[in-house]
Amino acid sequence: KVRSMWMLIVEELTSLTKNKEIVDSVLEDCVHHCILDGTDVVLRAPRLLADRVESGKQDHFTGNIYEGGKLNFLAVIQLLNEALRMLRDECCQSELKELDRIENIVTSCHKALQDLKTKRLEKKQQNYVSLRESISRNQKGWEMKWKTFLGQCPFNSIFEENIVSSVHFI
């Protein structure tokens, strides 16, 4: 029992010793020095981006990407900014095309709406004319019926000035 406990203690001490060595090496800056000097970095820019940079469309791009065999990080950042500007410009152009398409749709819808309003007014006027004609036809028909039944139209006697003189007592 004591031997198994002793074995556990030895294992813990061994793992603690290894961990202590790792921590010491990190504190002493001995592990994996990472130097960002750009000597082993190869940067490839798309042809369109390179053409835009070389053509001088942007006035603020300075220096070469490689200076003295090392990567110039300022030039890389400027190159990336130019790439972002190009992306923004492409998005804006596509949005403008989309905006033009939407404006055309709105214009055609507005024209269709105006055409429908014009047709509605025409139909409304036609209905008024046909309704007036129908009313006058019905009115003439009733006047004919009243004349055949009473000999005169009762509406005519209402509108006459001498109502009393036209009334006959039996």
- 144-160 per-position pLDDT tens digit: 887 887 777 666 666 55
Q: Check whether 72 has a pLDDT greater than 60.
A: yes
pLDDT band at 60 (very low <50, low <70, confident <90, very high): low
Q: What is the mean pLDDT of the chain?
A: 76
Q: Is 97 part of any domain? A: yes
Q: Check whether 35 has a pLDDT greater than 70.
A: no
* Domain count across the chain: 2
More confident residue, 7 or 54: 7
Element holding 167 (H helix, E strand): none
Q: Check whether 112 has a pLDDT greater than 90.
A: yes
Statement to judge: residues 46 and 96 lie in one domain: yes
Its sign, for the CA torsion 146, 147, 151, 157, is positive
Per the structure, the complete domain to which residue 49 belongs is given by 35-159
pTM for this prediction: 0.35
Q: Is 166 part of any domain? A: no
Statement to judge: residues 46 and 29 lie in one domain: no
Q: Is 164 part of any domain? A: no
Q: Is 143 part of any domain? A: yes
DSSP state of 66: E
Average pLDDT rounded to a whole number, residues 33-46: 62
Burial category of 79 from C-beta neighbours within 10 Å (exposed 0-12, middle 13-18, buried 19 and up): buried
Q: Is 95 part of any domain? A: yes
Q: Is 10 part of any domain? A: yes
Statement to judge: residues 153 and 88 lie in one domain: yes
Q: Check whether 37 has a pLDDT greater than 70.
A: no
Q: Is 168 part of any domain? A: no
Lowest mean pLDDT among 54-63, 105-114, 117-126, 161-170: 161-170
Statement to judge: residues 146 and 102 lie in one domain: yes
The pLDDT, as a whole number, for residue 105 is 92
